[in-house]
Structure 1
């Protein structure tokens, strides 16, 4: 027989955990609707992640705890070093300081989310927060289309393509939230997300959603009957839109066709310019925000009306601005998340933890596919999904360790 001493947390520790949970969920859940917050106050969207970082730091210092080490933290630290190095090299650039300040908080928040999700904050809570925030954004998208008469739904994001990125990244997370009695709520959320993404007319979003759904089917997390029911519901909504808003839908399709034809040419120009920047400065790149600074010169003023655009390809833009070492570390974030999530799938066995890991994989796949056509390194889903992937693996390892310790005590 073994005697086990149960140590109950103090009231202060309980409050600390509760605060970390609230702020972590707020950080993830408010990201899709940041545009609404910015409309109220330009810095309001940054409050939750800033408070989360401050509280996390205070808690770790008070308890003299270091962050739980993972390969992701090492990759993020090295990426920060490269970022500072290339920013210092191109400090005179007009966009360098602005974009360096945009990069660094994502690196910090990713490290914080990975740590708190492996300790204080349940993974399921964060998935629920992300899905809820994206569903609210999807509802806003449909409202902007129906009530405000926009040709393409944008809701809380200025660009419909960016909105599609948030929505398709959240769809797979619903698979991890399924519980008996909540099927109707999750189905409604899924319809709002898919309908909102469809209303953006984003081709990249459609490809990302297709890849995510395919992955869920391949890993046997999404039943075919659920997919069929969702397809019927979406088809019904599409038919209703055609019957009741036919002229508006036709106008939107015509505008999208015109924009799409223009986008093919302009994106090719931007991709070529990014490749030339990378070739010219492969080690430290052209610096954060350097693509915008050098685009006009590298493209020989190919777009007279657009002198400082984005590359519309996350990978080429990161490589051009941070150089090959920076891009390798950026890819290392993806690789670390992929390896961690796959280890979780294999170790966890059938159950909720495996479903969560596969859902995170599918969501990350949607993000990666969509980002082939968009510059999405400055939005949270890419970073938060990487953090959740490594945190899920840490949770599984912790469970295995607890089980091994229990077996040793019994012996």
Structure 2
């Protein structure tokens, strides 16, 4: 009885980890819906995933094989702790430090489970499925709720566009040209368009260009998606023409204001980097010091962000922290490119290129948004490293098998 009790959790863990890993990436785009039900519900899946992963690794006494990603994340955690300790008196330091840490942990966990137990294709599909639900929510909020800009499960339409455009390239990894995939693509693109996010449009264009350049996305599929979105747009215009005209007018007015506001925020962030190049102003320091640095108190904006992920990270964590943050992106880019070159034609190459295109969409969009506190960047870095890890393990397995045959 005792032996059975000891082995029983190990038999369940392989089934549990894939479910929790897929739930983590699938629920991230719709976290706003979960938060509306209960404030911490959106954090449940990643927390359970981390606990299940720890239990399985401790039970089996196996730990992830060290990779450059682990080293960069560990050093980033050290810098984060150092700048948080230096600025511990800041009113938002603890809150924003706690926001950073789960992403570092989940990145390690996803990279490990995707490299062992969970097929990468499952995680890509789960992320695309969750974003498709968010895209449907975006269209509903625009048409049914009468919002000027679609927001759906995210309070900010720009953040919603970030999730949607990052998910579009992942549909390529399905390798299935079905009606469901086509509908998902149209919903994602139309939902992103309904946010009227210019950064999202640039990110989507960059991702599509990359997929075309790497020859994993046929031109006819791009044309078909564009035609379907155009038809949907015309139908929406006929059904809700005055509403859309008002939305476009409001967006045009807001866009002019946004340019001036973002310029002020970028300048303020740059001054913070110059004044505090080593340890920055601390996690949450931009929010604390923005009004003083910009001399522009925005009464309607109580939680200001830099609207540029790179400037905000550099301002808050200093140049060493920014270098390590950029290192996470660099490790992911190198790992994915190695996978593309070594895998050869086939599913593995397609998945790696889809990850690259999605990561490119994230990086372009984040030039105009502060997106370091959202999962896509971190999960894509994890999957890029996991794809290379799987390829290397398969190669080692093949070499071992060949050596055994010769013996």
TM-score range normalised by the length of the shorter chain: over 0.9
CA contact (8 A) 1:139 1:196 kept: yes
2:47 aligned partner: 50
1:328 aligned partner: 323
Shift of 1:410: 2.1
Mapped to 2, the partners of 1:255 and 1:348 lie a distance apart of 48
Name whichever of 227-236 and 198-207 sits farther off: 227-236
Aligned ranges for residues 125-204 of structure 1 at < 5 Å?
125-179=122-176, 182-204=177-199
2:38 aligned partner: 41
1:3 aligned partner: none
Shift of 1:378: 0.2
Question: Structure 1 residue 369 and structure 2 residue 364: aligned?
Answer: yes
2:3 aligned partner: none
Question: Structure 1 residue 113 and structure 2 residue 110: aligned?
Answer: yes
2:262 aligned partner: 267
Indicate the SS of the match to 1:363.
helix
Q: Deviations over 1:186-218 (max 9, x none)?
A: 110000000000000000000000000000000
CA contact (8 A) 2:131 2:188 kept: yes
Aligned ranges for residues 4-43 of structure 1 at < 5 Å?
12-43=9-40
Q: Deviations over 1:138-192 (max 9, x none)?
A: 011111111111111100000000000000000000001122xx52111100000
Aligned ranges for residues 232-381 of structure 1 at < 5 Å?
232-301=227-296, 303-306=298-301, 308-381=303-376
Indicate the SS of the match to 2:277.
coil
Shift of 1:306: 3.5
Shift of 1:308: 4.2
Shift of 1:304: 4.9
Cα RMSD for the two superposed structures: 1.1
Mapped to 2, the partners of 1:340 and 1:178 lie a distance apart of 22
Mapped to 2, the partners of 1:300 and 1:206 lie a distance apart of 31
Name whichever of 293-302 and 40-49 sits farther off: 293-302
Mapped to 2, the partners of 1:31 and 1:296 lie a distance apart of 31
Q: Deviations over 1:261-296 (max 9, x none)?
A: 000000000000000000000000000000000001
Q: Deviations over 1:4-58 (max 9, x none)?
A: xxxxxx7643410110111100100000000000000000000000011111111
Mapped to 2, the partners of 1:12 and 1:42 lie a distance apart of 30
CA contact (8 A) 2:150 2:191 kept: yes
Mapped to 2, the partners of 1:301 and 1:157 lie a distance apart of 26
CA contact (8 A) 2:10 2:59 kept: no
Q: Deviations over 1:357-386 (max 9, x none)?
A: 000000000000000000000000000000
Mapped to 2, the partners of 1:396 and 1:199 lie a distance apart of 39
Indicate the SS of the match to 1:153.
coil
Q: Structure 2 unaligned runs (5+)?
A: 1-6
Mapped to 2, the partners of 1:54 and 1:34 lie a distance apart of 20
Mapped to 1, the partners of 2:347 and 2:70 lie a distance apart of 26
CA contact (8 A) 2:125 2:174 kept: yes
1:124 aligned partner: 121
Shift of 1:406: 1.9
Mapped to 1, the partners of 2:83 and 2:373 lie a distance apart of 17
Question: Structure 1 residue 205 and structure 2 residue 200: aligned?
Answer: yes
Aligned residues: 400
Shift of 1:239: 1.3
- 1:406 corresponds, among 396, 401, 404, to 401
1:87 aligned partner: 84
Shift of 1:307: 5.6
CA contact (8 A) 2:207 2:358 kept: yes
Indicate the SS of the match to 1:222.
coil
- Runs (4+) of structure 1 exceeding 3 A deviation are 10-14, 302-308
Q: Structure 1 unaligned runs (5+)?
A: 1-9
1:64 aligned partner: 61
Mapped to 2, the partners of 1:227 and 1:114 lie a distance apart of 31
